[in-house]
Amino acid sequence: MSATLHLDNRSTTTAAKLKDGGKRTKPVRGVVVHYSVGTRGTPENVIEELIRHGLSYNFIVGRKPPLAIMLRDPDTKTWHAGGKVPATGIGTAYPVVPKPAAHQTTVGASGRTPNGLYPNSSTIGVSFQATYGWTNSRSRAARDPHSIRSAWPYPGRSDGAKGWWEGYPSDQIEVGARLVAWLLIKYGLRDAPIASVVFPHGNHPEAIGVANWKPDPGPGFPWSAFLARVDELRREGVVAQFDRGGLASPRILPKPRGG
């Protein structure tokens, strides 16, 4: 019996100011999983941050309530796994302290990474909404029933600080798994080895040199269980129900200069 995915695709218009790379010209070869920390922890805040920094995702997986939100049609190339990465970092999940010297690279808004590849062209960006991501405050972590203590320092810190990483509610993980499984089915990746088509941001093979220092969705994300659930769902099947009655045509913005 197929699972059902409720997909909020009204945001293709409410997030109209997001930049994107236009209609995708290369076949989809996988999904890159991120996390997003908005200033106040809502999908609207995440969108504000993306607009402010010239970034975009195809989908956000909301937290409260757990909901799959389409920002851009999956046939649209978004700026999520490459592009301009200055030394101080940008975006909702990057630290404000300097990155390690090896990662202080600017490669341009086109999404090209230092190895000359373009991960945005062939992958769909899915980001799980988080609230704080990482904290060294015991009291703050105690307020999150899903947080975990981890030896992973927050990316970019040079002082070796260790703390607590935000975890993810099981209902949010389930919605995200249904979304990713639906995407794999949609793009003919139902039988591909799961680890070759679903990547955490830092492990995407074409993003090495830019994104591989970046551990989102973080050690609090149940990666092995998530992949297993995605694999199960793509074999069972997923039926998508859209708020707007069908997969709306994406809003295609002008390609950024230099891209």
CB 92 within 8 Å of CB 50: yes
For residue 226, pLDDT beyond 80: yes
Residue 50: give its domain's CATH number. Answer: 3.40.80.10
17-52 in b/e burial notation, b at 16+ Cβ within 10 A?
A: ebbbbeebeeebbbbbbbbbbbeeeebebbbbbbee
Q: Is residue 127 part of a domain?
A: yes
Cα separation, 142 vs 121, in Å, equals 40
Tens-place pLDDT, residues 116-175: 456 788 889 999 999 888 888 899 999 999 998 877 766 555 555 678 888 999 999 999
Q: Is residue 101 part of a domain?
A: yes
Q: Is residue 214 part of a domain?
A: yes
Q: Is residue 238 part of a domain?
A: yes
Q: Is residue 217 part of a domain?
A: yes
Q: Is residue 139 part of a domain?
A: no
Q: % helix / strand / coil in the chain, to the nearest 5?
A: 25, 20, 55
Instruction: Provide the 3-class DSSP secondary structure of residue 180.
Output: helix
Q: Is residue 230 part of a domain?
A: yes
Tally of structural domains, the chain: 1
Residue 68 has what pLDDT? 94
Q: Is residue 144 part of a domain?
A: no
Q: Which of 9, 197, 222 is nearest to 119 (CA)?
A: 197
Q: For residue 125, which amino acid is it?
A: G
Cα separation, 71 vs 15, in Å, equals 6
Residue 45: band (very low, low, confident or very high) from pLDDT cuts 50, 70, 90: confident
Arithmetic mean of pLDDT over the chain: 75
Residue 254: band (very low, low, confident or very high) from pLDDT cuts 50, 70, 90: very low
Give the range of the structural domain holding residue 86, as residue numbers without chain letter.
3-132+167-242
CB 78 within 8 Å of CB 144: no
Cβ-based neighbour number of residue 9 at 10 Å: 22
